[in-house]
A and B are shown apart, each in its own frame.
Chain A
């Protein structure tokens, strides 16, 4: 119940293409859903986040789509660039556990030039 599932494990996209990463959860107590981007040798950095009362949020080339009834959310990266090559983690906040976060297993994205 405390897990967040994420797919695919790895993704290869051509430059200019759309990258799509999907996540799913079971625990309805999760109340905030951020995405993190991690480059090799670096800590994870917040990319974009969404609340469950919003169905979509867009920031530049990055869009989160949220389906509350299905308990699923996804990250779309439009016009993917080689600089987007990184590992992406979806996460969910467990507010009834002192505001700590559960992370998905990660997706390694490679954008080919």
Chain B
């Protein structure tokens, strides 16, 4: 398995502000992903974080709203920009190890926008 740490674990943010979530993974992880999980809902992929280059975004998610960085193999950040109450969600960092057979998740960052 892989160890994935996220911070902050929870935050309450004001409408219109931005928040950056950090994800640190252990060295086994090759691919990193960011997912969103709205209350009581399933996981939706936001983007694949690519090392040293622009992230690959899924349909419905754009870089201006969710800028992502991955400066090295074991660290990535997701920024939620210009937040609105609709952005209140759990944001999950996930990673696959070299075989890619499964994805491991951090504990999630619980974001509430007021």
Partners in one complex: yes
A residues apposed to B, CB below 8 Å: 32, 34, 41-46, 49, 89, 91, 93, 95, 98-106
- Judge whether B56 and A98 touch: CB under 8 Å: yes
Residue picked from A46, A89, A95, A100, most chain B C-beta under 10 Å: A100
Interface membership of chain B positions 68-96, coded 1 if the CB is closer than 8 angstroms to chain A and 0 otherwise: 00000000000000000000000010101
Cα(A106)–Cα(B42), bound, Å? 6
| Interface size grouping (class) on chain B | 20 to 34
- Judge whether B101 and A42 touch: CB under 8 Å: no
Residue picked from B43, B100, B104, B108, most chain A C-beta under 10 Å: B43
B residues apposed to A, CB below 8 Å: 1, 31, 33, 41-45, 48, 56, 92, 94, 96, 100-108, 110
Q: Would you give the shortest CB distance from B103 to chain A, in whole angstroms?
A: 5
Cα(A89)–Cα(B101), bound, Å? 16
- Judge whether B102 and A49 touch: CB under 8 Å: yes
- Taking CB atoms, residues of chain B closer than 8 Å to A102 are 45
- Judge whether A43 and B31 touch: CB under 8 Å: no
